[in-house]
Structure 1
Amino acid sequence: MSYELIICEKPSAAEKIATALADSKPVKKSENGVPYYLIAHHKKDIVVACAVGHLYTVAEKEKKGWTYPVFDVEWKATSEIDKKADYSEKYLKTIKKLAKDAKEFTIACDYDIEGETIGYNILIYACKQKDGRRMKFSTLTKDELVESYEHANPHLDWGQAHAGTTRHVLDYYYGINLSRALSLAVRAAGAFKVLSAGRVQGLALKTIVDREKEIKAFKPEPFWQIELKGNSEKNKSQKEPDLIALHIKDKFWKKDEADTIFKKVTQHKDKANIKSIERTQFKQAPPTPLDLTTLQTEAYRSMRIQPKDALSVAQELYLKGLISYPRTSSQQLPKSIGYANILKQITRQQMYQALAEKLLKKSSLEPNNGKKTDPAHPAIFPTGQHQHLDGYEAKIYDLIMRRFLATFADPALRETMTITVDITNEDFIAKGTRTIEKGWHEFYGPHVKLEEIELPQVAKGERVHVKSIDLLNKETQPPKRYTPASIIKELEKRGLGTKATRAQIVESLYARGYVKDTALQATELGIKTCEILEKYCPEIVDEALTRQFEEKLDEIREKKTKGETVLAEAEQVLTKLLKAFKQKEKIVGKELLEANVETRHEENFVGKCMKCEQGELMIRPGKFGRFIACNKYPACKTTFSIPSKGFVKPAKKACETCQYPMVEIKQAKRGPQDVCINPNCKSKALSKEEQSEAKKEEKPCPKCIEEKRTGGRLVVRKGMYGAFLGCSNYPKCKQIQRLESKEKQDGKQQEKKEPKKAGKEKDKKSKKTINKK
């Protein structure tokens, strides 16, 4: 039996494509747990198979130990190179087996550079083919998939394929050689630590380090402001917002000048009056459709969802057929997607029904398209299909849905109001902004974050009742640190990296210890690594050179240049700089080692030891999990327990109750908490009554009984969060239970006494009473 083999990027995409193309229900088969589908499309036999992302990766042809430079590379099965990807081996074997009897081959991977690279490698190395048909689609909806299959390109997109494979080799050249150079430099200094750098990673780090240096070098300058608070003389008894105005000069850089004016206006505050009122109305255009970077920055701004999570969730929504392909640079929605048809489908979703119906009543549907385009895909949009979602999926879907609706809506009408207050020829300015007509704000809903500053109703010439005039002493502020979202936007603005890789670059910086915290702060290791790259490998952090390579990759995609030419140039650049780096290996290694020690100390230093007063309390790894211990061990054996799960870091502050150091703890389903490490802190102590009640809760350990372990009892213990019940067989048994407060226990007992039915009747009666009133 011969057939056409369609190769998809993911199992879920294969199922969608098989279902869409099948004349009847697809027949699902599996090989070693790998699914594939037998279908007929217009009576033509087709097998739809799947990969799990990249089945091939770039690697050295022959391993010659840890050395550099490395340029002799080839494509190998990912499962051979990465132990974490050994699951991909069975997918590769299945495709190879299915390829033997296939007479036609069609690639249906995501239509972008990465998808083309995945499909190209499978076609060339697994299927042993020189070319194949190419499906192009932006959504996994039935109509678009059928259209994509029946009008498939007879050839691969060779521009994308060559650009993709060249990018992978280029990134491997930079990544493997720079990472080995840095790691071997540390080894030469007598230690071991894996460090990494990359073609774009180095520049991303430099951008963050440059900002960190700006902040450290920043010297605040004092300035003064004169602030007036008051309201209308005739409306001073009414509940209206205060009129808050600043002197027209805003910032005074000389204290004596501010003092003079402050004294003058304070003495004559009873002469304050409304000098002028200006109102300016303006239309605020709807937002442009979502590209990936905007989706990531909006998700972070509105909901504090990390960029990598936003992309991951959006990819899942795409695979479920709920949104279009998310890895796009486009801010434009073409008419071909069928605006009205999508909106009609959205009306079936109760949450968005009224908004979609409102748009459908418009005489014409025109999105507020942005300037950015993408040769492969339109902006991100909902397909109109729906299924139950929760968690991040529900949040990201809501953002994408509301953004889509908002871009078709009318502009919002806003008004700025400027009130000038005069006190003996000294002007004070109050500014307010309000929304008059919501327009697109109604559609974007909770994701609209605009400041509404309401001013009191006053008239020109009216006297002002001055409540207070204050001389404010302030300082200029340093520039803000980047966030994971703003650094991605900055990299895009500079043309560095790709829309799909920027979030992963930021994650790499965290993983290597180069940056920390949500507001990206460069660590000493990150700063030193960047300084070393600047000193010994300036080309690595040369923005112009990096951007030049990005532009050449675009030229490969456009078939204006060849990958071999670009790789030869990169090899020449790297060979020169690595040769110079090798001569300074020991010096570099010593500097990196010192920076690493300093960074680790900063990350794990909790505070001074309260017992010996000589040592430092540090977070340490242990046999049964991490803990806090004095670094003067064995002279000082002070230790404190901390949670084994979640993220723990020094809070850099002392407990107000006992003055012991505190740590910040982040655990699943809990926000960050600052907790005192002292288990005997009075803030955690139980009252006598609570202690008595807690003792009553002690009982045999259910886990020890289940596992036939003798002597286990749940007894009252003290921990980070206060008292709890823990097994007496710890650490062999780690069974714990919370101690509930007396109020909760009383509430539960009350619930048991009152039947649920009676409770409902009671609620009904109370509602009737309220209605009568």
Structure 2
Amino acid sequence: SYPAFEIKWFPISEINKKMSHMKEYIDVIKEVSSKCDEFVIACDYDIEGEVIGYNVLRFACGKQDAKRMKFSTLTKQELINSFENAEKTIDWGQAHAGLARHNLDWLYGINLSRALMSSISKTGRFKVMSIGRVQGPSLKIITDREKEIQDFLPEKYWNINIMGTIKQDEIQASHEKDKVWEKEEAERIFNKVNGKNGTVDEVSKAEKKIWPPFPFDLTTLQTEAYRNFRLNPKKTLEIAQQLYLGSYISYPRTSSQKIPPSIGYKKIITSLSKNPKYAELASELLSKNSLRPNNGKKEDPAHPAIYPTGISLKTTDALALKVYDLIVKRFLASFGDIALRESMNIRINIEGEAFITKAVRTKQEGWLKLYQPYSSLKDEQFCDAEEKDAFTNKKTDLLEKETQPPKRYTQSSLIKELEKRNLGTKATRAQIVDTLYQRQYVKNDPLEATDFGIKTIKILEKYSPKIIDEELTKHFEEDMEKIREKKKNMDETIEESKAILKDILHDFKSKEEKIGNELKNALYETSRKEIYFGKCPRCKKGDLILKNGKFGTFIACSEYPGCKLTLTIPGKAKAKYAEEQCQHCGFPLVIIKYPRKKGENYCINPECPEKKKNEEKDKGELNELNEKAKQRKCPKCGTPLVARKSIHGYFFACPKFPKCRHIENIN
């Protein structure tokens, strides 16, 4: 039921049976603390760590204050220094900000989620739903982008490109009007220059300084890990946390882009130089007169930017090695010299029409050498051209194109957008994205709002817009920052949030029936769409519906038993209606997608003439390959091999599968 405003802390062992073993830990802390007269909190030095330490202190130890260690790495020396120089009291700004956040997240998350689930359950349906202070606005950002994409009307435009040579150099150039919006004008230009040679009108060169990258804050690390390794933000944070716990890197949940001299630049780089992988790069930096990183503007009151400690990494985990290497290279690159990039523009005149070709290359590597292979800057071939050189036109293209809708957010770019809008925290944004997937509000990556996600936001916009109000969320984020800075009282913020929440819930309750019915309809339509595969081609009355059977999923007519049409789906594949018919037999086409493979159109009619034709072709190819296979014997059991076909193509295999699992490439 809702609303629920009473908040009381309980040991997790009392409310979650799966965590009952935690009682032993709490009991040990209670027993040990009864014999202690001094307490030091050594949890992670941030808002979340402060709350954890304070809760253990007051609930398990029965104390209200303690000394506080401040550290950014788990190296032995830093922990000793932190212990010897511990603050005399808890960081009450962090503790109160953390408690305020816990209260607000619980009050909003529990009450709003219960309200949604209550409204839909009263219609006789059940669906696990959640919404919260940050989750709601985050979903709205995604659905707003989806609406932009759906409402987007593409416009036609034309490109005119030429390919040819200047001296001996092959070049490609585009008309100075990058997009020609009128077909008649595009055709006029094309006809004017097609097959005609030209002259170089102008050659210009320019140099640009590229400053070293800033040291990593968490968001930038997640962005770069996604760009280079396609790691989602949650996984990147998990790996970074493990590296931190192993003392290999500094605390990862930081929004800082600054590394202070106090961390010991030279000492860390000297330690890295002992690793053969980084020896050359580190030695290059150590030969400089001074070490000064290119710090960014972003700061974090608790921690510096992410940096390696210099301790040699001991792991065989491939992903951990990749993320660690990225962090080390970024750290080293931040100390590098400015890189110099040179650009070249060539302007070609053909019958009075100007065509431009551009190229960029690195003139001075600087920090780029230290950040390989992670730099996204590419070098292009320069043309040895001078003014009045002849251009020989070998080919002219007139290309019809369309403007493209805005891109969907990736998990990485969404986290950057949330940070930009001051929604959520560096520690919670990845989890919020993960929750949106779990609740089936979004799918795929780039993030695509599901029909249910879109309809949920539409319903909330219509009946209770404050639930997804970005400005309200930002207001409380700013309040919590003021609490951390000891400029605002925690209780005032909590009481204000309760008052606003009461109004939201009162308004919601008055419209609960309407909201529930619309959510029910949205759920039905979404579920229906996911299992609908077009009209039945046999009886013309029913719909083809995806069903689950004893041997997996299959497609059947909704008019069963009147119509007994059933169609199979290839094993281990996911199927989705392609919303078009097979041109050979008229049956619906489905998009079949295997794990780690692109989806492809597939006709579900087993009697499709085109499918039969392809099957005969496959049969012939298999027979030919089987003749070759007989000449090979399984190296494990000596049996002659046979040819097989999978989604990846043909291969040779032992016929005694699954007892013998030997396979080999047909080549």
TM-score by shorter chain over 0.5: yes
Matches within 5 A, 1:603-614: 603-605=530-532
Q: Does residue 197 of structure 2 align to residue 266 of structure 1?
A: no
Return the offset for 1:314. Answer: 0.3
Q: Secondary structure at the match of 2:10?
A: strand
Give the AA of the match of 1:94.
Answer: V
Q: Secondary structure at the match of 1:459?
A: coil
Q: Does residue 330 of structure 2 align to residue 406 of structure 1?
A: no
> Partner residue of 1:665?
594
> Partner residue of 2:219?
293
CA distance in structure 1 between the aligned counterparts of 2:618 and 2:492, rounded to whole angstroms: 67
Q: Does residue 270 of structure 2 align to residue 344 of structure 1?
A: yes
> Partner residue of 2:175?
247
CA deviations over 1:515-542 (Å, ceiling 9, x no partner): 1110111111111111122222222222
Task: Decide whether aligned partners of structure 1 residues 738 and 628 sit closer, same or farther in structure 2, where only a CA change above 3 A counts.
Answer: farther
CA distance in structure 1 between the aligned counterparts of 2:300 and 2:26, rounded to whole angstroms: 31
Return the offset for 1:329. Answer: 0.3
- Asked whether the 8 Å contact 1:203–1:542 carries over to 2, the reply is yes
CA deviations over 1:272-303 (Å, ceiling 9, x no partner): 00001000011111100000000001111111
- Asked whether the 8 Å contact 1:139–1:318 carries over to 2, the reply is yes
Task: Decide whether aligned partners of structure 1 residues 588 and 648 sit closer, same or farther in structure 2, where only a CA change above 3 A counts.
Answer: same
CA distance in structure 2 between the aligned counterparts of 1:146 and 1:72, rounded to whole angstroms: 41
> Partner residue of 1:364?
290
CA distance in structure 1 between the aligned counterparts of 2:629 and 2:193, rounded to whole angstroms: 64
- Asked whether the 8 Å contact 1:243–1:455 carries over to 2, the reply is no
1:207 equivalent among 141, 145, 166 = 141
Matches within 5 A, 1:224-243: 224-232=158-166, 234-235=167-168, 240=169, 242-243=170-171
- Asked whether the 8 Å contact 1:651–1:674 carries over to 2, the reply is no
CA deviations over 1:546-571 (Å, ceiling 9, x no partner): 11100101111111112211111111
Structure 2: tracts of 5 or more residues without a match: 607-611, 633-641
> Partner residue of 1:519?
446
Task: Decide whether aligned partners of structure 1 residues 694 and 231 sit closer, same or farther in structure 2, where only a CA change above 3 A counts.
Answer: closer
CA distance in structure 1 between the aligned counterparts of 2:665 and 2:508, rounded to whole angstroms: 67
- Asked whether the 8 Å contact 1:627–1:639 carries over to 2, the reply is no
CA distance in structure 1 between the aligned counterparts of 2:144 and 2:399, rounded to whole angstroms: 32
Q: Secondary structure at the match of 1:446?
A: coil
> Partner residue of 1:62?
none
- Asked whether the 8 Å contact 1:641–1:719 carries over to 2, the reply is no
Return the offset for 1:739. Answer: 6.7
Q: Does residue 264 of structure 2 align to residue 335 of structure 1?
A: no
Matches within 5 A, 1:532-681: 532-605=459-532, 620-621=547-548, 626-632=552-558, 633-634=560-561, 635-636=563-564, 638=566, 640=568, 648=574, 650=576, 652=578, 661-666=590-595
Q: Does residue 178 of structure 2 align to residue 178 of structure 1?
A: no
CA deviations over 1:617-651 (Å, ceiling 9, x no partner): 65555567x5233253554363546666xx94538
Task: Decide whether aligned partners of structure 1 residues 365 and 461 sit closer, same or farther in structure 2, where only a CA change above 3 A counts.
Answer: same
Matches within 5 A, 1:64-143: 67-143=1-77
CA distance in structure 2 between the aligned counterparts of 1:513 and 1:726, rounded to whole angstroms: 42
Give the AA of the match of 1:95.
Answer: I
Return the offset for 1:688. Answer: 3.6
- Asked whether the 8 Å contact 2:534–2:577 carries over to 1, the reply is no
Q: Does residue 249 of structure 2 align to residue 314 of structure 1?
A: no
2:414 equivalent among 487, 499, 515 = 487
Q: Does residue 316 of structure 2 align to residue 389 of structure 1?
A: yes
Of structures 1 and 2, the one scoring higher in RCO (CA 8 A, sep 6+) is 2
Q: Does residue 95 of structure 2 align to residue 161 of structure 1?
A: yes
> Partner residue of 1:379?
305
- Asked whether the 8 Å contact 2:538–2:565 carries over to 1, the reply is no
Provide TM-score, normalisation by structure 2: 0.89
Return the offset for 1:676. Answer: 6.0
Q: Secondary structure at the match of 1:96?
A: helix
> Partner residue of 2:209?
283
Return the offset for 1:425. Answer: 2.3
- Asked whether the 8 Å contact 1:515–1:526 carries over to 2, the reply is yes
Give the AA of the match of 2:186.
Answer: A
Give the AA of the match of 1:416.
Answer: S
Q: CA RMSD in A?
A: 3.3
CA distance in structure 2 between the aligned counterparts of 1:305 and 1:608, rounded to whole angstroms: 40
CA distance in structure 1 between the aligned counterparts of 2:250 and 2:538, rounded to whole angstroms: 60
Structure 1: tracts of 5 or more residues without a match: 1-66, 698-714, 729-733, 745-773
CA distance in structure 2 between the aligned counterparts of 1:579 and 1:375, rounded to whole angstroms: 39
Return the offset for 1:155. Answer: 1.2
Give the AA of the match of 2:181.
Answer: W
CA distance in structure 1 between the aligned counterparts of 2:518 and 2:654, rounded to whole angstroms: 46
Give the AA of the match of 1:547.
Answer: K
Matches within 5 A, 1:612-761: 620-621=547-548, 626-632=552-558, 633-634=560-561, 635-636=563-564, 638=566, 640=568, 648=574, 650=576, 652=578, 661-666=590-595, 682=615, 687-688=622-623, 738=661, 740=663, 743=666
- Asked whether the 8 Å contact 1:676–1:720 carries over to 2, the reply is no
Return the offset for 1:414. Answer: 0.6
> Partner residue of 2:123?
189
- Asked whether the 8 Å contact 2:575–2:591 carries over to 1, the reply is no
CA deviations over 1:336-373 (Å, ceiling 9, x no partner): 00000001100111111110011000010000000000
Structure 1 residues 632-641 or 585-594, which shifts more? 632-641
Return the offset for 1:165. Answer: 1.2
Return the offset for 1:95. Answer: 2.1
CA distance in structure 1 between the aligned counterparts of 2:649 and 2:660, rounded to whole angstroms: 12
> Partner residue of 1:435?
362
- Asked whether the 8 Å contact 1:405–1:444 carries over to 2, the reply is yes
Give the AA of the match of 2:175.
Answer: H
Q: Secondary structure at the match of 2:102?
A: helix
CA distance in structure 1 between the aligned counterparts of 2:212 and 2:127, rounded to whole angstroms: 50
CA distance in structure 2 between the aligned counterparts of 1:654 and 1:125, rounded to whole angstroms: 65
CA deviations over 1:102-126 (Å, ceiling 9, x no partner): 2222111111011111111111111
- Asked whether the 8 Å contact 2:146–2:448 carries over to 1, the reply is yes
Give the AA of the match of 2:99.
Answer: T
Task: Decide whether aligned partners of structure 1 residues 251 and 694 sit closer, same or farther in structure 2, where only a CA change above 3 A counts.
Answer: closer
CA distance in structure 1 between the aligned counterparts of 2:117 and 2:660, rounded to whole angstroms: 45
- Asked whether the 8 Å contact 2:154–2:405 carries over to 1, the reply is yes
CA distance in structure 2 between the aligned counterparts of 1:552 and 1:580, rounded to whole angstroms: 25
Give the AA of the match of 2:238.
Answer: S
Return the offset for 1:400. Answer: 0.3
**Between Structure 1 and Structure 2, how many residues are aligned?**
643
Indicate the percent of aligned positions where both proteins have the same amino acid.
Answer: 47
CA distance in structure 1 between the aligned counterparts of 2:28 and 2:226, rounded to whole angstroms: 40
Structure 1 residues 605-614 or 534-543, which shifts more? 605-614
CA distance in structure 2 between the aligned counterparts of 1:418 and 1:124, rounded to whole angstroms: 68
CA deviations over 1:301-359 (Å, ceiling 9, x no partner): 11111000000000000001100000000000000000000011001111111100110
Task: Decide whether aligned partners of structure 1 residues 648 and 439 sit closer, same or farther in structure 2, where only a CA change above 3 A counts.
Answer: farther
CA distance in structure 1 between the aligned counterparts of 2:242 and 2:296, rounded to whole angstroms: 25
Q: Does residue 371 of structure 2 align to residue 444 of structure 1?
A: yes
- Asked whether the 8 Å contact 1:727–1:736 carries over to 2, the reply is no
Give the AA of the match of 1:257.
Answer: E
Give the AA of the match of 1:597.
Answer: Y
Task: Decide whether aligned partners of structure 1 residues 136 and 261 sit closer, same or farther in structure 2, where only a CA change above 3 A counts.
Answer: same
CA deviations over 1:51-93 (Å, ceiling 9, x no partner): xxxxxxxxxxxxxxxx111111111122333345444333323
> Partner residue of 1:256?
184
Task: Decide whether aligned partners of structure 1 residues 265 and 675 sit closer, same or farther in structure 2, where only a CA change above 3 A counts.
Answer: closer
